[in-house]
Chain A
Amino acid sequence: MSDNYAKGGIFKRARRRKHLTLRLTSLIDVFIILLVFLIKNISARPEVTLFSKNLQLPISTAGKTPKITTTISATEHLLLINGKIVESIQDIIEQKELLNENLYDGLLEEKKKTLFLSEQNPDIIFSGEAIIQADKNIPYKVIKKLIYTCGQAEFGEISLQVLRKE
């Protein structure tokens, strides 16, 4: 009798195993946490300016959002205007005068492009805005020359791009 009972138990367990489903509760818990974190992180305005991985921007408490304009990036070795290489940083450090010819020519070209576009489309105006993205280890000597050259090329509204401190 007891033997039969035991057999019945085995059968019952086997039958029950068929109904087993995946236990998803813990997975859903993880997903909910992830979802909350990602929704918290989402921002209404996307990043308009990109910078390369080898450019370490300094961290600052400034809170103004960048606009799309001419960007001058100074990495540890190269100087770029809108992603095009113009000059090496070493040359800028070594030069004596404040004005850098290559950067000046590059900026004038950018200005010419904007002026040409503004002839075709009156919505585009040349406002003299430029964003400087400089690596945090760059000496002030270089920054000074960049700002001076921008000023000479009539780019008067200069912004320094930094990483936002939370």
Chain B
Amino acid sequence: MRELFRNKRKGKKTMELFTSPVLNLFIILIPFLLITAVFVQTSVIDLSLPSGKNKTTSEEMKAPKEKLLILSIAPQGFYLILGEKLLKIIPKEEDTFSFTKLGEILQKVKDEFPEQTSIIIEADDGIIYDHIIHAMDQCRNCGLINISLSASKG
């Protein structure tokens, strides 16, 4: 019995996987993949400026159902203006802009006017770029794809 057990153990010991070729392959593959790996991906947001050969004006003429929707970003918070009247004021909460609330309200506006795809973002001089990009993201998430930037007068 003991003899048998020993033999079995011995037999197992001699069986080994021949792993060095796999390891060689890995050692070559891993540095290669590490070099080519892209950890930070960037993307772009397109803006079209009015120029001589611009098409946006004619497109705007084709969609008369669209209303003028303006999102104004002031140091105190967001002002949402539809047509001529002020639709909603979203004040800052604890000194930060409440982007989730803005998203909810924009979604409500979009549900009410499903044809609306354009929005004008009007920002105050002191608003930082990051907040504008976040506001644009919220607009895009709600289906308001045609985003224009405008500067407040003065």
| Interfacial residues, chain A to chain B (CB-CB below 8 A) | 16, 19, 21, 24-25, 27-28, 31-32, 34-35, 38-39, 41-43, 46-47, 49, 51, 57-66, 98, 128, 131, 134-141, 143-144, 147-148, 150-151, 154-164
| Residues of chain A contacted by B30 (CB below 8 angstroms) | 31, 34-35, 38
CB pair B137 A61 closer than 8 Å: yes
Which residues of chain A have C-beta atoms less than 8 A from B140's C-beta? 61-62
The answer, among B19, B129, B149, B151, for a CB contact under 8 Å with A134, is B129
Please report the total number of B residues contacting A with Cβ < 8 Å.
47
Residues of A within 8 A of B127 (CB): 139-140
Number of A-B residue pairs having CB atoms within 8 Å of each other in the complex: 155
If over half of B's interface residues share one DSSP class (helix, strand or loop), that class is named, otherwise mixed; here it is: mixed
> In the complex, are the beta carbons of A58 and B133 less than 8 A apart?
yes
Q: Judge whether B45 is part of the interface by a CB distance below 8 angstroms.
A: yes
Chain A: minimal CB distance from B114 (Å): 21
- Contact in complex: A60, B136 (CB < 8 Å): yes
- Partner of B41 from the list A27, A43, A156, A158 (CB cut-off 8 Å) is A43
Q: Which of B48-56, B62-70, B82-90, B104-112 contacts A (4 or more CB under 8 A)?
A: B48-56
A139 with B44: CB separation less than 8 A: no
Instruction: Tell whether A140 pairs with B125 under 8 Å between CB atoms, given A21-B16, A58-B130.
Output: yes
Given contacts A58-B129, A161-B44, list 16 more A-B pairs with CB under 8 A.
A28-B26, A35-B30, A42-B33, A46-B36, A51-B42, A58-B133, A60-B133, A62-B45, A66-B42, A140-B128, A157-B46, A158-B48, A160-B133, A163-B40, A163-B41, A163-B42
A24 to B39, CA, bound (A): 29
5 contacts between A and B (CB under 8 A): A32-B26, A35-B29, A46-B36, A150-B49, A157-B48
Interface contact A64-B129, CB-CB below 8 Å = no
User: Is B1 positioned at the interface, with any CB of A under 8 Å from its CB?
Assistant: no
Complex alpha-carbon distance, A63 and B129, angstroms: 18
Q: Are B46 and A139 in contact (CB under 8 A)?
A: no
Give the complex CA separation of A157 and B37 in angstroms. Answer: 30
Contact status of A159 and B47, CB under 8 A, knowing A35-B30, A137-B128: yes
**A158 contacts B49, C-beta separation under 8 Å:** yes
B34 interface residue per 8 A CB criterion: yes
For A161, the chain B residues whose CB sits under 8 A away are 42-44
The answer to whether A162 and B44 touch across the interface, beta carbons within 8 angstroms, is: yes
Chain B residues with CB under 8 A of A148: 151
Tell yes or no: B126 within 8 A of A by CB. yes
State which residues 123-149 of B face A: CB under 8 Å.
123-130, 132-134, 136-137, 140-141, 149
Q: Choose from A51, A139, A150 the contact partner of B125 (Cβ within 8 Å).
A: A139
Give A156 to B52 CA distance when docked, in angstroms: 9
